[in-house]
């Protein structure tokens, strides 16, 4: 069954699929529901220093949610399909690889075998409410395919009108997500950013990130995640363990 790429995956606090909703509606202030998302922290090693550098981006001024905010390498949503039930990690990974190509122009073969899921973050963010509810591990259990949810997803349309006027005003929007957080160390690649999605992107060292966050506005997810976890240490540990 081929479903439209507008049907987000509604989940409960345990990451169990409970339905689907149009991507616009799911971000409406006061009407949003928890849904699956994904984020990636993409690293390279500096050619000269050999130190790790994280790819960060400034979201495009055209984005409805958090325009011009700085954030991690890539974030977006998987859309409902059978794999969402049977193999959630692979499902998110497939959509993530597609999104990396769309936003950054990085070929799929560069990242496909490098991405690994570290954990999942359940959070909610808006103009006046930012909250990190829980942290789940990377042990994601499959669930039986729910044909009723799949069949109903083919009929989903936007229920609520997009606000007129300043549609980028954060009073209209909210994000409530179960975020699958991936990491990758890549090399031998080129970036060709999509200006509809990204204003600027560049690699930054751990020391530079500490200074950078004092002077620029970061997305709530990015802020909360790097407060809870040392992303450079996570990547270093992965490299160290994979070389044993």
Instruction: Give the CA distances from residue 95 to residues 55, 62, 88, in Å, rounded to whole numbers and listed in that order.
Output: 19, 22, 11
Q: Can you count the helices (H) and strands (E) in the chain?
A: 7, 10
Q: Which single residue is written with the structure tokens 């990758």?
A: 184
- Options 3.40.50.150, 3.30.420.110, 3.90.79.10, 3.40.50.11810; CATH of 7-162+169-242: 3.90.79.10
Which residues share a beta bridge with 183?
Answer: 41, 116
Per-residue pLDDT, 2: 46
- Encoded tokens for 221: 């997810």
In the predicted model, residues of the chain with pLDDT beneath 50 are: 1-4, 158-168
Query: What is the rounded CA–CA span in Å between residue 169 and residue 183?
Result: 31
**Which are the contacts of 124, defined by CB distance < 8 A and separation ≥ 6?**
34, 130, 131, 133, 174, 175, 176, 177
Task: Tell me 127's DSSP state.
Answer: S
pTM for the structure as a whole: 0.91
Per-residue pLDDT, 235: 98
pLDDT, one tens digit per residue, over 208-226 is: 999 998 899 998 889 889 9
């Amino acid at each position: 069954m081929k479903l439209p790429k507008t049907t987000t995956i509604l989940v409960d606090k345990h990451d169990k699929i409970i339905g689907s909703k149009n991507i616009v509606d799911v971000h409406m202030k006061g009407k949003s529901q928890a849904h699956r998302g994904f984020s990636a922290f993409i690293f390279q090693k500096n050619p000269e220093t050999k130190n790790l550098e994280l790819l960060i981006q400034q979201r495009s001024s055209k984005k409805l949610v958090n325009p011009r905010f700085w954030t991690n390498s890539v974030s977006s949503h998987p859309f409902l399909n059978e794999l969402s039930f049977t193999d959630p990690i692979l499902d998110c990974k497939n959509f993530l690889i597609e999104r990396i190509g769309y936003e950054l122009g990085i070929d799929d073969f560069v990242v496909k075998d490098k991405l690994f899921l570290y954990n999942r973050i359940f959070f909610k963010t808006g103009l006046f409410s930012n909250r990190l509810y829980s942290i789940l591990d990377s042990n994601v259990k499959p669930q039986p395919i729910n044909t009723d949810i799949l069949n109903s997803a083919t009929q989903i349309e936007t229920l609520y009108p997009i606000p007129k006027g300043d549609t980028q005003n954060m009073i209209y929007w909210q994000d409530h997500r179960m975020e699958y957080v991936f990491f990758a160390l890549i090399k031998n690649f080129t970036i060709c950013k999509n200006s509809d999605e990204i204003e600027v992107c560049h690699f930054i060292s751990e020391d530079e990130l500490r200074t950078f966050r004092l002077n620029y506005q970061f997305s709530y997810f990015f802020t909360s995640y790097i407060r809870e976890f040392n992303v450079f240490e996570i990547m270093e540990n992965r490299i160290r363990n994979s070389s044993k």
